[in-house]
Structure 1
Amino acid sequence: MKNAKRVNWSELPSELIYTILLRLSVPDRLRNARSVCRSWRRVCQDPLMWRKIEMPDMGDYQEAMDYYDAAEAMCRRAVDLSQGGLVEINIEYFGSDSLLAYIADRSSNLKRLVLTECDHVTGMGILEAVLKLALLEHLELSDFYFMELDLESIGLSCPLLKTLKLNNVGYYYKEDECDDDALAIAGTMPGLHHLQLVGNMLTNAGLNAIVENCHHLKCLDLRNCGHVNLVPQ
């Protein structure tokens, strides 16, 4: 290995740097990659680098006392770097209504919004955000057990919505056998192609309303929906 040639990272083609950096997490891009050299910093500043922001379980960062504040600050910085070009964002285990408002105000081109167990995000915060996201095509919410969600207003605000995934949303809030979500979906989201309602309280009546009104459905996931009976009577 004595004759091994040292790599000058600054001389790599921009296209290769771009490919490398896309494989890094958002924290690594913001905190580390930008400091490698000028060419890497220049690519990190490119809005195309931030069209898609993935902030799932952040590992070591989650152990820090200021995890939520640090995660929100990094997310806001990434949104700023996108310069309005953000089309997809995935946030897990942090976030707030104010962060959603920040994203929505600066990301009118957003098409995909995925939120998982964001304890400080409310149903009203989600509604106020999607009211500003007319191009939204994919909305996915998971493990918001106590959330009350106005699906009718969301459907009316997102005419291009093609995918809706609600996993354990409002599970402990809704009463036994409740078709409110199903009827709101049937009444305001006729363009859905993919619908996932895990742990929902809908009944066969709600299911029939969805099937009769959402004519473009290609995939319907009703896992853990205990009040739906698919066995012929």
Structure 2
Amino acid sequence: MENLSEDIIMLIMKKVGVVDILLNLQKVCRSWRNICKDPALWRSIDMHSNYSYHIITCCSTTRINRTRYVMNDMIKHAIDRSCGQLIDIKLEKHFNVDILKYLTYRKNQLKRLQIVSCKKVTNKGLSKATKNMSSLEELHIYFGNITNAGLKNIGRNCPRLKSLTFDHQGRSIPTAIAKSMPELRHLSLFGNQISNRDLEAILDGCPHLESLDLRECFKLDLYGMPLGLRCSSSIKTLLLPNDSIADYQYGSSINRLYDTDDDDDDYRYVR
């Protein structure tokens, strides 16, 4: 490891991820500590739910409520280290709108935001946060509580938005997409309850769509219908309601909670 260049070490760190950098790698030696402070390392931050499991299993005396505090503390520290260079962030489960506020206060030029099963991120909170995210080009929301009202505000706040994922949103019908996101190129509505009429409005309002994921949108009736022919002729990459979901990245396991009955303990990392 002593003969590795800084570029190679940084590449390894990016693969390892945020938690291991803060918990372990930055403590190896002074040179690694300096690399861990480089803002370039923090341009992309991925705080997926496996990290909370990692903390619980590696620190056996940490409980789930403590984990929420730890994860929020860690993500704030990672955002600080980006020094305004953050362009891509992925949040899962334990995060709330306070993290989005913290993100916008740091004046990052965010281009990609992914939110997975963050039930505490609300229409109001996300709408307010995106007022300071005019550079956003991709927004991916899975298993959330965002409704049509939130989408409407997001579309107004993010005129550069080119890619939207709005998957597994329960009974929320994303009709605001048609009126507020005319520049979309890529749209995923996996597992939503949209109708033929809703889809037709989206196609009318988003004339530049190149890819469209409609898997498990079982209220749609496209086979042999004019709307189905329109989709297949105008969309380059089209996934229909009954198409295979074998390559879909999220399953029912995303909603699993990790818990433990052990006593609390403090989590500490080197700032």
Alpha-carbon contact 1:151-1:185 (below 8 Å) kept: yes
- For CA contacts below 8 A with separation 6 or more, give which structure has more relative contact order: 2
Greater mean alpha carbon deviation, residues 70-79 or residues 92-101: 92-101
Q: Is the 8 A contact 1:86 1:107 kept in 2?
A: no
Q: What secondary structure, in the 3-state scheme, does the structure 2 residue paired with 1:141 have?
A: strand
The whole-number CA distance in structure 2 between the counterparts of 1:147 and 1:83 is 29
Cα shift readout 1:135-172 (whole Å, capped 9, x = no counterpart) = 1011011112x443521111011111011001112x15
Post-superposition, which runs of at least 4 consecutive aligned residues in structure 1 deviate over 4 A? Answer: none
Match for residue 15 of structure 1 among 1, 4, 7 = 7
**Taking structure 1 as the reference length, what is the TM-score of the superposition?**
0.87
Which aligned pairs between 1:135-146 and structure 2 lie closer than 5 A? Answer: 135-144=135-144, 146=145
Gaps of 5+ in 1: 1-6
Q: Which amino acid aligns with 2:132?
A: K
Query: Is it true that 1:91 corresponds to 2:83 in the alignment?
Result: no
Secondary structure at the counterpart of residue 89 of structure 1 = strand
Task: Deviation per CA, 1:66-99: give whole Å up to 9, x if none.
Answer: 1110001000000000001000001112101111
- Identity in percent: 35
In structure 2, how many angstroms separate the alpha carbons of the residues matched to 1:203 and 1:148? 16
Structure 1 pair 112–81 and aligned structure 2 pair: CA distance change class (3 A):
same
Give the equivalent residue in structure 2 for 1:82.
82
User: Is residue 2:167 matched to residue 1:167?
Assistant: yes
Determine the C-alpha separation between the residues in 1 that align with 2:56 and 2:111. Answer: 27
| TM-score (normalizing by structure 2) | 0.75
One-letter code of the match for 1:164?
A: L
The amino acid across from 1:116 in the alignment is: V
Contact 1:186–1:210, Cα closer than 8 Å, also in 2:
yes
1:216, distance to aligned residue in structure 2 (A): 1.2
Map 1:1-233; keep pairs closer than 5 Å.
9=2, 12-57=4-49, 58=51, 59-62=53-56, 64-65=62-63, 66-144=66-144, 146-149=145-148, 150-169=150-169, 171-172=170-171, 174=172, 178=173, 181-182=174-175, 184-233=176-225
SS of corresponding position for 2:91: strand
The residue that corresponds to 1:4 in the other structure is none
| CA deviation map 1:16-55 (0-9, x unaligned) | 2212211212011112111111111111100000000011
Contact 1:113 1:139 in 2 (8 A): yes
CA–CA distance in 2 between the matches of 1:33 and 1:230?
52
Higher mean alpha-carbon deviation, 80-89 vs 111-120, is at 111-120
What's the RMSD between the two structures over aligned residues? 1.6
Return 76-85 or 13-22, whichever deviates more.
Answer: 13-22
Structure 2 residue matching 1:198: 3-state secondary structure: coil
Q: Distance in 1 between matches of 2:123 and 2:102?
A: 16
In the alignment, is the contact (CA less than 8 A) between 1:108 and 1:132 conserved in 2? no
SS in 1 for 2:219: coil
CA distance in 1, matches of 2:204, 2:80: 42
